[in-house]
Amino acid sequence: MRLWEMIKMALESIWANRLRSALTMLGIIIGVMSVILVVTIGQGGQVRILNEMESFGTNLFAVYIGSVDDGNYEKYRFTLEDCRAIRESIDSIKAVVPIAYGYTAVEGPHKKESAYVYGTDGDYDEVRNLKLAEGRFFNSIDNAVGRRVMVINQRLAEDMFGSSREAVGQKLKVRQMSVLICGVTEAGSGMFGPESPMVYMPIKLHFRLFNSEDNINELHGTAVSKDLVEDTAKKVIRVLELRHQAKDSEVYQYVTMAQQMEAADKVLAIITMIIGAIAGISLLVGGIGIMNIMMVSVTERTREIGIRMAMGARREDIMKQFLIESVVLSLAGGSIGMILGISISMIICMAMKVPLVISLGTVLLAVLFSIAVGVFFGLYPANRAAKQDPIEALRYE
Amino acid sequence: MIKVEQLSKTYDTGIVRVEALIKVDLEVTKGEFMAIMGPSGSGKSTLMNILGCLDRSTSGDYYLEGIPISTLDENELAKIRNQKIGFVFQTFNLLPRVDALRNVEVPMFYSGVHPGERRKRAWEALEKVGLAAHARHRPNELSGGQRQRVAIARALVNDPSILLADEPTGNLDTRSGLEILSIIQDLNRQGATIVLVTHELEISRHAQRVVHFRDGRLVKSEMIDTPMQAAETLKAMKQQMEDTQ
């Protein structure tokens, strides 16, 4: 007997119990759909986050002070001289900027709000890949003379003046000092939540406002090429250790964007996998549904089994008939689930502005898994069907 | 054609032991129409199941066209059922979900006949039993007599060596029963070998030979010199009805 005919027979039998078959398939449909949804959206999100991080510059690295065993923080503190020395002594460095963090109230003509205030120098926009929507970033001259200028982000500009355009040329009071806004940065993607109000100002101005001479929290640098990032960061640390006579190599530490991207990538992949696996459990439940309905079907069709055996069906023919029926059922459910999963992923990815990543592997896995579910959960009922005694089966009412 | 020697069948459930058949010797020749008579529990159904290769004997030999059936494995038995035996049951045993034509196709399905050929032969078989007009009807759209005719068409479609009919008129009214008997007798005249199981004396009188069973033993074998002709009885019935009108 040909396989195609058995499939046709299975389809007829499934069609004869339309409602029941549809309800049975629902389990598999939901299972496959949710697995594809989770994995697709997860992978899309992963790509999106990595792109986002990449936009900060893949050549980026940050140097910070790690553990100071001797408690002599003053000795190891970064200085502006360090930055100059690094710039001059390391060839592979493209730019390095000091960063001083602060958080304080900023007062506009109409309102007052708290903002993060970064003190840095004129290369900061280049190092962090910062784009300006309006105006300009402050430059090294502004920095050298400690001019009272600053760049704010779009959020703050809109809060204070209604738009970025309006903000440039205006002044805001930061810690009682009026500072001129020379530029406004472009809005970010909003991927990591709403942006906080931000202020970037010359580091010397920052020192003055926060009364903290040479209080530099981190150094951010970029290497001339991606391959040289680690090497450059290590050289920077070497220079710092020499300049500050740090005997303990734990004092200065660095982290690169590449490392962070890798870590984020790993975490996201694990999250996707875990949620995917949880979604996969619904596939298993769907499989049990198939098994249940196949058991009912075998009992209901006991007489049919007897008739077919009397007409010359071998046990393996009966077995195949029921097995194919359960596989057709699960495969049909899997296919519908796949189509639904992909369609809904497309909609969600579009809405979330996440790139649509449909990997062939995921789709193939979902289909193969639903076939496997059909075989696995169909095996027992089919075997039960095949083991019927023809005489008993013929007598079954 | 059929040769049964010292055939016994014992059911042992562990608690009770039932001897359903005890040392039965029986021979059915080609082209013969034989009836097996007996009350329920006489062992006639057991014999029928064994002859139909649905069941195995506990001891003894069974030869069908010289094939030693007792030595065959399950798959070989399935093949014998498919190729050499045509079943007609009391309860028709048609597949409820498919039409008459598809029901008749079932045995050919398992013998691997090509779909086109299968359809053609199914039509021919239905024509033979006068049911071609109802080929597209499902069993529940047919009368009992019509269903039994579908079953006969199905039994014949693989051109079996022997037709086994187990109380084929048991669920039918007299008239439909006679029609079925008449078809069976026609088939026999055309050369079919038939074994019919019944507990009704009058039905058994349509065969050429009747073997009587009681308590698992073949107790009597009688030749019927002039079997009743179902077609004639039917004709007489019709006449009678017309007369009374």
Question: Which residues in chain A have Cβ-Cβ distances shorter than 8 Å to B75?
Answer: 314-316
A5 in contact with B, Cβ within 8 Å: yes
Whether A311 sits inside 8 A of B107 (CB atoms) is yes
Structure token pair of residue A312? 């010359």
Domain spans of chain B? Answer: 2-244
How far is A329 from A294, CA to CA, in rounded Å?
A: 10
Strands A218-223 and A149-152: unpaired
CATH superfamily to which B2-244 belongs: P-loop containing nucleotide triphosphate hydrolases (3.40.50.300)
Q: Which of B47, B53, B94, B95 to mutate to test the interface with A (most CBs of A within 10 A)?
A: B95
- CA B140 from chain centre, in angstroms, equals 22
A265 in contact with B, Cβ within 8 Å: no
Q: How many A×B Cβ pairs under 8 Å?
A: 64
Whether B93 sits inside 8 A of A306 (CB atoms) is yes
ipTM of the complex: 0.94
Name which of B74, B93, B110 is nearest A394 (Cβ-Cβ).
B93
Smallest CA–CA distance from B164 into chain A, residue: A310
- Residue A192: pLDDT above 70? no
pLDDT (0 to 100) of residue A332: 92
Name which of A1, A12, A13 is nearest B112 (Cβ-Cβ).
A1
Whether A1 sits inside 8 A of B109 (CB atoms) is yes
Structure token pair of residue B171? 């669920």
User: Which amino acid makes up residue B242?
Assistant: E
Whether B106 sits inside 8 A of A390 (CB atoms) is no
Domain spans of chain A? Answer: 3-52+262-395, 67-250
Whether B81 sits inside 8 A of A311 (CB atoms) is yes
How far is A341 from B47, CA to CA, in rounded Å?
A: 59
Whether A310 sits inside 8 A of B81 (CB atoms) is yes
Question: Which residues in chain B have Cβ-Cβ distances shorter than 8 Å to A306?
Answer: 93
Per-10-residue mean pLDDT for chain B, 245 residues long?
Answer: 94 88 95 94 92 94 94 94 95 93 94 92 94 95 96 95 94 94 95 95 95 94 94 92 85
Check: CB of residue A322 under 8 Å from CB of residue A330: no
Which of A202-211, A302-311, B86-95 bottoms out in mean pLDDT, i.e. has the lowest?
Answer: A202-211
B54 in contact with A, Cβ within 8 Å: yes
Residues 136-195 of A with CB under 8 A from B: none
Question: pLDDT by residue (tens digit) across A126-169?
Answer: 888 888 898 999 988 888 887 899 999 999 999 999 888 889 99
Question: pLDDT by residue (tens digit) across A31-70?
Answer: 899 888 888 888 888 888 888 887 777 889 999 998 787 7
pLDDT (0 to 100) of residue A191: 59
Task: Look at the pTM and tell me if it is higher than 0.80.
Answer: no
Question: pLDDT by residue (tens digit) across B220-231?
Answer: 999 999 999 999
Phi-psi sector, B129: left (phi>0), alpha (psi -120 to 50), beta: alpha
Which residues are within 8 A (CB) of A86 and not within 5 positions of it... i.e. 6 or more apart? A93, A96, A219, A221, A236, A239, A240
B83 in contact with A, Cβ within 8 Å: yes
A303 in contact with B, Cβ within 8 Å: yes
Nearest to A102 by CA among A197, A220, A187: A197
pLDDT (0 to 100) of residue B180: 95
Smallest CA–CA distance from B50 into chain A, residue: A391
Smallest CA–CA distance from B106 into chain A, residue: A311
HSE-up (13 A, CA, CB side) for residue A80: 14
